[in-house]
Amino acid sequence: MPADHVPADHVPAGQPVIEVEDLRKQFGALEVLRGVSLTVQPREVVCIIGPSGSGKSTLLRCVNRLEEPTAGSIHIEGEDILDPDCEIDLVRRKIGMVFQAFNLFPHLTVLGNCTIAQRKVLRRSRADAEEQARAMLARVGLADKVDEHPVRLSGGQQQRVAIARALCMGPDMMLFDEVTSALDPELVGEVLASMRQLAEDGMTMLVVTHEMGFARRVADRVVFMDDGVIVEEGPPQQVLDAPREARTRRFLQQVGERESP
Reported as a pLDDT band with limits 50, 70 and 90, residue 210 is very high
Q: How far apart are CA 150 and CA 45, in angstroms?
A: 29
| pLDDT, tens digit (0-9, with 9 covering 90-100), for 187-203 | 999 999 999 999 999 99
| pLDDT, tens digit (0-9, with 9 covering 90-100), for 212-221 | 999 999 999 9
Q: Which of 122, 40, 24 is nearest to 82 (CA)?
A: 24
Cβ distance 236 to 216 under 8 Å? yes
pTM score, two decimals?
A: 0.91
Reported as a pLDDT band with limits 50, 70 and 90, residue 240 is very high
Sheet holding 79-80, edge to edge: 30-40, 18-27, 71-76, 79-80
CA 76 remoteness from chain centre? 14
Predicted pLDDT of residue 256:
72
Cβ distance 219 to 198 under 8 Å? no
| pLDDT, tens digit (0-9, with 9 covering 90-100), for 173-183 | 999 999 998 89
| pLDDT, tens digit (0-9, with 9 covering 90-100), for 6-56 | 445 556 667 899 999 999 999 999 999 999 999 999 999 999 999 999 999
Q: Which of 162, 199, 154 is nearest to 178 (CA)?
A: 162
Residues 6+ positions from 58 with CB-CB distance below 8 Å: 25, 32, 33, 67
| Reduced DSSP (H G I as helix, E B as strand, rest coil) percent helix, strand, coil of the chain, to 5 | 40, 25, 40
Which is more confident, 10 or 223? Answer: 223
**pLDDT exceeds 70 at position 116:** yes
**pLDDT exceeds 90 at position 257:** no
Predicted pLDDT of residue 125:
96
| pLDDT, tens digit (0-9, with 9 covering 90-100), for 57-113 | 999 999 999 999 999 999 999 999 999 999 999 999 999 999 988 899 999 999 999
How crowded is residue 27: how many other Cβ atoms within 10 Å of its Cβ? 10
Predicted pLDDT of residue 216:
94
The whole-number average pLDDT for the span 118-134 is 96
Q: Which of 56, 67, 57, 62 is nearest to 18 (CA)?
A: 62
